Amino acid sequence: MAKILVADDELSMREFLEILLKKEGHEVVCAADGEEALTRFQGGSFDLVLSDIKMPKLGGLELLVKIKERRPNMAVIMITAYASPEDAIAAMKAGAYDYLTKPFKLKEIKSVIRNALAKPTVPAEEKAPAGIFCNLVSHSPEMMKIFNLIRQVGPTKTNVLISGESGTGKELVARAIHQNSPRLKQPFVTINCSAIPDNLMESELFGHVKGAFTGAVASKKGLFEMAHGGTIFLDEIGDISPVIQVKLLRVIQEREFMRVGDTETISVDVRLISATNKNLEQEVIQGKFREDLYYRLNVVHLHLPALRERREDIPLLAQYFLEKCSREQGKDVRSISSYALDILLKYNFPGNVRELENIIERSVALENSNIILPDSLALAEHKNEGRREGAKEGIPALRLTSAGIDLEKGLSELEKDLILQALNLSHGVIKRAGELLNLSFRSMRWKIQKYGLRGYSDTKEE
C-alpha cells in the first residue's frame, strides 16, 4: 500500500482517481488546487503525486518544481486535458515521472502508477534508476536518455527514425512514442518493409481499386489510410526500393496519396516512425537511399544500443522475462542461479534482447526446479563459455580478490546450487539426489527446508 497525493481542480476527476486508487489498496489524499496540494505535501509523507497541469492559485508545473525542491526523488505524474508538446517537455525537464492526457484508459494509468511506485527512491548517485517504461526494461544510463527522449518527442507530430541492431527493441520504442502521444487512442499500424515484395509494397502502403491489376477483385485500403489519425511504423525502412522511396516522399510532403489504379487523391494525417538496422547515412552516400527522404524521416533520431553495450540491464531483463514466461507457462520458476546469471553476463547476445527473451523462455519450459540452472541455458556460442575461469566441471569457483568475499554466503550459494542440480538430475527424488551428494535422506530434506526450495519437501523417497 502506498500513500498518494491527488491534485486536481475538477471534483469528478478527484473522486474518480480516489476510487480507483483505493480499490488498488492505496491511501489517498486529495487537493482541489496547487496551493492546497503543496500544503498537504509538506504536512505528510507521500509515495507518489498525481497532479493536473492547469490548476488555480498554483499551477501543476509550479507545484512539480516545488515538490522536486523538497524531495528530488519523488515520483510525480502529470495529467491534463489540454495536451501540448510545450507542457509535456517542460514537465519532463522539471523531473516529472510521466505525462498523461485525459481521458486516459484505466489499464494505462494503472500501469504508469504501478511502475512509478516501483521506481527506486534512493539518490541517483547511490543507485542508477531502474524500472519499466512502456514495456521497455532498463536502468542503464543510455536507455534512460532514450526514455527521456520518448517522453519529449511523444506529444509532438515529428517524424522519428529509430536505428539499432536486430532485436534491440525498435518496435517497442515506436509503440512507446505512440503511447506517449495525443494519438494514443488512434491506430498504430506496423509493416515490415523487408517482408513485402517490391511489386506488392505500393498496394500494401496505399491500397488499390478493383481491377487495378490481376487479382485485384475488390478495392482495398492501404496501411496509410488505415493509420489515419494515428501512427504508422515502417520497420526496416532501408529495404524499400527507389520507386517506393519516391512515392513515400510525396506522401510525407503532401500528406496525400492515390490508391493503385485510382485517379483521386486521399488526404491522410499520420505520424511516421521508421526503423532500420542499416547505416542509412552510408546508404545515402552510396546512392541506395534518397537523401531528401532520409532527412524527412530523420527529424529526430533515436539509436538503441546493443545489449552487449548495456550489460548492467541483463539481470533486470532476465528476471523480467523469467516472471513473464513463468506466468504464461503456468510454472513456478522464480529465480536464476548466480552461476547461470554469470554465464548470461559473459555472453555477447548477437540477437540482443529478443535472444535473451528466447533463452529465458526455453529455460523456463525445460526447468524442473524453481530456479534456472546453468544446464538449462541454450546459447548460440559454446555452452560452457561463460563459466567462471578455473571452475571444475559442474562446480563454479569462488574467487578471492583484494576486496575480499563473504565466505559463508558464497558457500551457501554453492551448496544450494549443487542441491538443485542434484534434484534436477534425480527428477526431484530426494533420496537419489542425496546419493549423488553423499548425503542421507534426512540431511537432504533438512537442506531443502533450509533453502526454502518449494516442491521437494513432500517428494517421495524413491
**For position 341, what pLDDT does the model report?**
86
Closest residue by Cα to residue 447 from 425, 430, 428: 430
Q: What is the DSSP string of 277-307?
A: SS-HHHHHHTTSS-HHHHHHH-SEEEEPPPG
Q: What CATH architecture is 3-127?
A: 3-Layer(aba) Sandwich (3.40)
- pTM as predicted: 0.56
- In angstroms, the CA 441 to CA 446 distance is 9
In sequence order, the 6+-apart residues with CB closer than 8 A to the CB of 109 are 20, 100
- In angstroms, the CA 92 to CA 74 distance is 13
Q: What CATH architecture is 398-462?
A: Orthogonal Bundle (1.10)
**For position 100, what pLDDT does the model report?**
79
**For position 380, what pLDDT does the model report?**
55
**For position 403, what pLDDT does the model report?**
60
Closest residue by Cα to residue 164 from 18, 332, 278: 278
**For position 461, what pLDDT does the model report?**
45
Q: How far is CA 269 from the centre of its chain?
A: 27
One fold for 153-303 and 398-462: no
CATH class of 153-303: alpha beta
**Contact of 269 with 229, CB cutoff 8 Å:** yes
Q: Tens of pLDDT along the chain (462 residues)?
A: 788 999 998 898 889 999 989 988 899 999 999 899 998 888 778 889 999 888 888 888 889 988 888 887 788 898 877 656 566 667 777 778 877 777 777 877 887 888 788 754 433 333 333 468 888 998 888 999 999 999 999 988 889 999 999 999 999 999 999 999 989 889 999 999 888 887 788 888 988 888 777 777 788 888 998 999 999 999 999 999 999 999 999 999 888 888 888 888 888 899 999 999 999 999 999 999 999 999 999 999 999 999 999 999 999 999 999 998 998 888 888 888 877 888 898 888 989 999 999 999 988 888 877 888 777 787 754 343 433 333 344 444 555 555 666 777 778 878 887 887 887 777 677 888 888 888 888 888 888 878 777 555 444 444
- In angstroms, the CA 279 to CA 180 distance is 27
CATH value of 308-396 in 3.10.180.10, 3.40.640.10, 3.40.190.10, 1.10.8.60: 1.10.8.60
- In angstroms, the CA 321 to CA 335 distance is 11
Q: Where are the domains of the chain?
A: 3-127, 153-303, 308-396, 398-462
Give the number of C-alpha atoms closer than 13 A to the C-alpha of residue 177, restricted to the C-beta side.
Answer: 30
**For position 301, what pLDDT does the model report?**
94
> Alpha carbon of 109 to those of 26, 68, 180: distances in Å?
14, 22, 12
Residue with cell 489510410: 225
Closest residue by Cα to residue 227 from 186, 274, 196: 186
- In angstroms, the CA 302 to CA 148 distance is 11
